[in-house]
Amino acid sequence: MAAWSVPVSKIYRGNETISQSVPRIKGVRDILPDETPVWRFLEQKIHAQAAAFGYREIRTPAFEATELFVRSVGSETDIVNKEMYSFTDQAGKGLTLKPELTAPVIRAYIQNNLHREAPLTRLYYIDALYRQERPQKGRLRQFHQFGAEAIGSPYPEQDIEIITLAYDICSAFCSDLTVRLNTIGDPSSRSTFLELLRKSLEPHSAAFGPLDRRRLQSNPLRLFDSKDEHTQDLLDRFAPRIHEHVSSEDAEHFATVKSGLEALGLPVLHDPKLVRGLDYYTRTTFEIISPHLGAQDALCGGGRYDRLVEDLGGPSVPAVGFAAGIERLLIAAGGELPGQVPPNQVDVYLVSKGDRSTQPAIELAAKLRKSGYVVIMETLRRSIKAQFREANRTGARAVLILGDDEIAAGSVTLKLMDSGHQETISLDRATDILGDYLRPERPVDGG
Ligand code: AMP
């Protein structure tokens, strides 16, 4: 569709144009000013916790070459098959809004030669993702994740570190979590297992729905991700368990991860059917689930992917990572989280009255802000009474009043909202005198 033929949301009545609002598109949300303090609080905790484990933040572009996701996530996965927002740019290149973050992070790791800096790279991110799914509670088309990838170590202690990092962040906000854990072994043992799986299920193929019947042929491991209860029942009855068909090294790796997490006191549950929806996993797969999320109970998912870096054209290095949904974390946290968030504190409401006070008020506000105070100044030229009402509404700790009388006298009136104490102070020394009563909420620049 040419740009000019996009429907313009205006209707015409005679010569008059009436603008209509453009509705938000399905499956996306606005994060409103009342909610952003909670988001920022959560983000700060994520930054702090990731730093405590020695992880460094990475930010990747909003879109990538479509091929990156087809090659990494897998062409038989739900994400690639039906959920990607893909488009062709003016030059005819196939691009996709990122539906997951491991592949972009690994692409960036390879392209920027991060493997040359150190044998082990610990990265984390907080980002927005896009998947064309059926919107419902906890399932959006634009959503946010935080996650981490540790690239370089094949050992179980690295899996333990990643799972502990994920669990520590999630459990800082949500209670009653469980870590579901499984191993899906290595691709070399997997092909034998896939044959066995197919053989065990083929006699029942007529009982599967059309989608799962196709999966049985193309990629039977994906049957474990099926949302169809009937499929899950057939798997319970007839499918072999993947962890029983992995090599002894893989089994030992799994046992070490599991016992290491248990020793740390994490609530670990072995879930033999947990294979996760992406093709690139090897050995460990895990999810953190919350009983407070209803049908979409996974808060976080991850696992080991020892072949992906090489498959994407990088060096042969193993890796393990996770991603957790921020919207789901907020749902699972319920009412608990907002209570932890410190409110936005306003130090001073600057009341001004009269033409001559406007510029001095602007300058006083600037000076106070430089000293670290949070200052709101009146810009609606309301009555003094209305300005005081506004000061109360914002929860300001103090009001400074600048009127024509104060300007003439080179002074400003200070009123402390808690005690009602009021005095007239020198305009030049307003910051110092205010400092006797109030310490600034914000750290002073550079301080
Ligand atoms: P995945 O990348 O599919 O393993 O998802 C990791 C986590 O991201 C999930 O456990 C959810 O918390 C979250 N998530 C995945 N898809 C969505 C979605 N469509 N809307 C909201 N959160 C999602």
Q: If you average pLDDT over every residue of the chain, what do you get? A: 91
Q: For residues 8-29, b (16+ Cβ closer than 10 Å) or e, as one string?
A: eeeeeeeeeeeeeeeeeeebee
Tell whether 99 is covered by a domain.
Answer: yes
**Any alpha helices (H) in 82-177, and if so which ranges?**
102-111, 156-173
The residue whose C-alpha atom lies closest to atom 13 belonging to ligand 1 is 325
Q: What is the pLDDT of residue 342?
A: 79
pLDDT for 339: 72
| Cross-strand partners of 289 | 178, 298
Q: What's the pLDDT tens digit per position in 62-110?
A: 999 999 999 988 887 788 888 999 999 999 999 999 999 999 999 999 9
The answer to the question of residue 179 being in a domain is: yes
253/132 same-domain check: yes
Any residues with CB less than 8 A from the CB of 154 and at least 6 apart, and which? 306, 318
56 and 179 in a common domain: yes
Tens-digit pLDDT profile for residues 25-74: 999 999 999 889 999 999 999 999 999 999 999 999 999 999 999 998 88
Does 180 map to a domain?
yes
**Are 374 and 333 found together in one domain?**
no
Range of the domain at 392: 348-438
> Is residue 373 within 8 Å of residue 425, measured between CB atoms?
no
Residue keyed to tokens 């300001």: 396
Residues 363 and 314 in one domain: no
Give the β-pairing of 121-130 and 142-151.
antiparallel
* Residue 327 CB–ligand 1 contact under 6 Å: yes
For residues 77 and 26, state if they share a domain: yes
Helix (H) or strand (E) holding 326: helix 326-333
CA distance 21 to 33: 20
C-alpha dihedral over 398, 400, 401, 405, to 10 degrees?
140
Structure tokens of 349? 């409401």
Domain membership of residue 240 (yes or no) is no
- CATH number where 430 lies: 3.40.50.800
252 shares a domain with 166: yes
> CA nearest 332: which of 290, 287, 296, 295?
290
Are 334 and 379 within one domain? no
Ligand 1 center to 24 CA (angstroms):
21
Q: Of the residues 287, 305, 338, which one is the last residue of a structural domain?
A: 338
**Pair 330, 426 in one domain:** no
Q: State mean pLDDT over 408-415.
A: 96
Gyration radius of the chain over CA positions: 29
Question: Is residue 206 included in any domain, yes or no?
Answer: no
Q: Which atom of ligand 1 is nearest to the CA of 100?
A: 2
User: Distance from the CA of 339 to the center of ligand 1, in angstroms?
Assistant: 25
The answer to whether residue 302 sits within a structural domain is: yes
Residue 318 Cα to ligand 1 midpoint, Å, equals: 23
- If you measure from the C-alpha of residue 139 to the centroid of ligand 1, how many angstroms do you get, rounded to a whole number? 7
Q: Does the beta carbon of 140 lie inside 6 Å of ligand 1?
A: yes
Place of tokens 């009127």: 403
Boundary (domain end) residue, out of 338, 361, 376: 338
Q: Does any ligand 1 atom lie closer than 6 A to the CB of residue 131? A: yes
Query: Does 407 lie in the same domain as 312?
Result: no
* Measured CA distances, 382 to 351, 354, 361, 388, 440 (Å): 9, 10, 14, 10, 26
Q: How confident is the model at residue 12 (pLDDT cuts 50, 70, 90)?
A: low
Together in a domain, 281 and 395: no
Going across the sheet that includes 268-270, the strands are: 56-57, 121-130, 142-151, 319-325, 298-304, 282-289, 178-183, 268-270
pLDDT at 354: 87
Please give the C-alpha separations between residue 205 and each of 77, 89, 227, in angstroms, as whole numbers: 20, 42, 17
Query: Binning pLDDT at 50, 70 and 90, where does residue 5 land?
Result: very low
Region of residue 313 (phi > 0: left; psi between -120 and 50: alpha; otherwise: beta): left
Q: Which two structure tokens, joined as six digits, stand for 320?
A: 């393990």
**Ligand 1 midpoint to CA 186 (Å):** 25
Mutate to test the pocket of ligand 1, among 85, 327, 329, 330 (most ligand atoms within 8 A of CB): 327
| Model pLDDT for residues 304-339, shown as the tens digit of each residue | 999 999 999 999 999 999 999 999 999 999 877 767
Q: What is the pLDDT of residues 158-202, one digit of tens each?
A: 999 999 999 999 999 999 999 999 999 988 888 888 899 999 999
Residues with Cβ within 8 Å of residue 130, at least 6 apart in sequence: 84, 85, 97, 98, 99, 141, 142
CATH of the domain at 270: 3.30.930.10
Last residue of a domain, one of 338, 360, 386: 338
Non-local (6+) Cβ contacts of 250 within 8 A are 183, 185, 186, 189, 283
Q: Cα–Cα distance between 366 and 112 in angstroms, integer?
A: 42
> Do 328 and 380 share a domain, yes or no?
no
CA of 434 to the centre of ligand 1 (A): 49
Are 175 and 267 in contact by the 8 Å Cβ rule? The answer is no
Q: What is the pLDDT of residues 124-154, one digit of tens each?
A: 999 999 999 999 988 999 999 999 999 999 9
Helix (H) or strand (E) holding 415: strand 411-416
Would you say residue 155 lies in a domain? yes
Average pLDDT over every residue of 341-360: 91
250 lines ligand 1 (CB under 6 A): no
- Residue appearing with tokens 């709101």: 376
Residue 303 alpha carbon to ligand 1 centre in Å: 14
Contact between residue 245 and residue 185 where contact means Cβ atoms under 8 Å apart: yes
Cβ of 145 below 6 Å from ligand 1: yes
pLDDT digits 0-9 by tens, 203-232: 999 999 998 998 898 888 888 888 888 999
Residue 204 lies in a domain: no
Atom of ligand 1 nearest to the CA of 79: 3
The structural domain count of the chain equals 2
Does residue 329 sit in the same domain as residue 412?
no
Ligand 1 centroid to 242 CA: how many Å? Answer: 24
